[in-house]
Structure 1
Amino acid sequence: MSTNLLRERIVLASEKSYPFHILATKYTYEGNPYKDSSRALTLVLTHSLGVHMEIWEVAVAHLFALSTSANSQVEIRAMFSIEDPNHGRSAVVNAEEIAKRPLNDWTREYARAIERFLVAANSTNKNLVGISHSVGAPALFIAAESVPVIHFKAMITFEPGMTSKDRYGLIDHPASKHKPPFAFPGVITALSRDHHAVCGLQSSRRADLKQRNQELKDFMSDEKAGRTPASVSYIEGAPASHMVIRYKPEKATELIYSLLVEADPTSRL
């Protein structure tokens, strides 16, 4: 079945209790028979650092195509791609408020945006499945844990922004040693930008990608650290660039679809 993708741009205005506008896009398609179904899935999409909510658009279109194919076992009511308040178009409309908060914890701010959007959209208990990439994963996790009425039946994460509690990668900013009022109470990465670039080039050229992928799987499924995913998968042919959603959207979507098909209502994805 050919699907004509429909987009609805949604803006929740800022309030006294929350200073940022929240932007999102609702995706569905013409003639969607599940648009009012309480049984069909509602997918909630969150993005990584440095991109925007439209990063999911190719995957959205492909997933709707798969879900409407002959003998499909997946029913989708709608998909919501929610934007981090300091990314994409959101960064433009929130520029004045962002400038007032240079040291904000934007992962938690993203989580608050997710919370507020789902409550306002009356979508807190409509067979929610969270689908996230990188830092969008902890933002989604925090949102789910912070508001009891938001219930996700499953979570699918791509390259989640996870680290162990004893892994430190930050040091005090050099300006922190300056005398007031010129001191800057911030931090920088312990690894310099130049060395980071070199490591990235070396990483992309290494032949032992299979070994590194196994190390990542082991880290993500470390039960001693409280990580117990139902499964960990690797998309073959994806570049070592942390942007599988951009470079392999069709394969990522096919993986999402297969997980939705295989999952029962109590599964953890």
Structure 2
Amino acid sequence: MLQREFVLQPDSNYPLHVTAKKYWLPAFEAHWNDIDALTLILLHSTSFHKEIWEPTIQWMFEIIALRSAYAGSSVLKVKCAWAIECPNHGQSAVLNEAALQQPPYFRNFGCEKYAEAVHRFMTSGGTLSPPVDFSTQKLVGIGHSLGGVAVSILQVLQPVFHFQGLVLVEPLLSPQGLKPLRPLQKHLIQSAYDRREVWPSRKDALEYFTSKRHITHWDPHVIDLYVA
């Protein structure tokens, strides 16, 4: 699987860096000018980062490539996948450390601001190197938790990006609204605040996570990426 990193620089209207990675297989390059091939947009959960998607993307690509080898042109076609990072997570949090200590972002960075960052990245695609026009792509949004809500909000930001489909993994999305989910919301927010965030070394962090019962069922590659 090939990958390329992108960093959208801040400007006078938006003080934050927005980082992303593009993933693809060499075989997918044949679809880059195909208007029917899909571009996947993946947004991560609270306390994670864009690289956490890599094992999932690898798995999806392998399945698509395998089916393509047997079914030929009738199989689902994909151009690439983009994992776009929330500006106060992962590599982005380091780049944005100073700006995140100032209003309107200090202790105030939720789903809406993640969606706004993704929207800025996608609308600024022409300034990337190489440039990309997301408005001409056949988009599928994939979001987990924080990312699931953010990709939902993304649907109403102007100019609107039209998604062909969405895959949302988020317990706080409900047709009944937020009221019946308040207890769960309170628990999840408190859990996020209570998460340990400092260890003496990456080795200690890895030992900590591999000892946690609710984490031991994670793919080992995901744990390694999380600690790295």
| Normalised TM-score (structure 1) | 0.61
In structure 2, what is the Cα distance between the partners aligned to 1:107 and 1:123? Answer: 21
AA aligned opposite 2:12:
K
> Structure 1, unaligned stretches of length 5 or more?
171-188, 198-239, 250-269
Structure 2 counterpart SS, 1:14: coil
Greater relative contact order structure (CA < 8 Å, 6+ sep): 2
1:39 CA displacement: 1.1
Decide whether the 8 Å contact of 1:135 with 1:161 is kept in 2.
no
Q: Secondary structure at the match of 2:119?
A: helix
Q: Who is 2:19 aligned against?
A: 23
Give the aligned residue type for 2:123. Answer: V
Larger radius of gyration: 1
Flag the 1:242–1:105 CA change in 2: closer, same or farther, 3 A: farther
Q: What's the CA shift string for 1:53-77, capped at 9, x where partnerless?
A: 0111011111111111122621001
Separation in 2 of the partners of 1:144 and 1:130?
10
Query: Which residue of 158, 165, 172 corresponds with 1:154?
Result: 165
Q: AA paired with 1:63?
A: M
Kindly report which structure 2 residues correspond to 1:102-251, keeping only aligned pairs within 5 A, or say none: 102-121=106-125, 122-162=133-173, 164-167=177-180, 168-169=182-183, 189=186, 246-247=218-219
Against the structure 1 CA distance between its residues 243 and 19, is the aligned structure 2 distance closer, same or farther, given a 3 Å change threshold? farther
Structure number with the higher helix fraction is 2
Which string of whole-angstrom CA distances, capped at 9 and with x for unpartnered residues, describes residues 8-59 of structure 1? 0000001111111000000112242212221100000000001100111011
Q: Any conservation in 2 of the 1:85–1:110 contact (CA below 8 Å)?
A: yes
Match of 2:200 in 1: none
- In the alignment, which residue of structure 2 is the partner of 1:56? 53
Cα distance change on mapping 1:192 and 1:34 into 2, 3 Å: closer
Which residue does 1:203 correspond to in 2?
none
Conserved 8 A contact 1:137-1:160: no
Secondary structure of 2:135's match?
Answer: coil
Quote the Cα distance in structure 1 between the aligned partners of 2:56 and 2:138.
20
Q: Distance in 2 between matches of 1:114 and 1:138?
A: 12
Could you tell me how far 1:117 is from its partner in structure 2?
A: 1.3
In structure 2, the gaps of 5 or more residues are 126-132, 195-212, 222-228
Secondary structure of the residue that 1:130 maps to in structure 2? strand
2: CA distance between counterparts of 1:71 and 1:25? Answer: 29
Question: Contact 1:43–1:129 at 8 Å: present in 2 too?
Answer: yes
Aligned partner of residue 179 in structure 2, secondary structure: coil
CA contact (8 A) 1:21 1:85 kept: yes
1:190 Cα deviation after fit: 7.6
Give the residue type in structure 1 aligned to 2:162: H
Aligned positions, number? 185
Partner of 1:235: none
Query: Which residue, out of 94, 97, 111, partners 2:96?
Result: 94
Q: Which amino acid aligns with 2:23?
A: Y
Q: Where does residue 78 of structure 2 map in the other structure?
A: 76
Tell me the distance in 1 between the aligned counterparts of 2:114 and 2:42. 12
Who is 1:261 aligned against?
A: none
| Structure 1 segments (4+ residues) deviating >6 Å | 190-194
- Amino acid paired to 2:141: G
Identity of aligned residues (%): 30
Distance 1:158 1:193, change over 3 A: closer
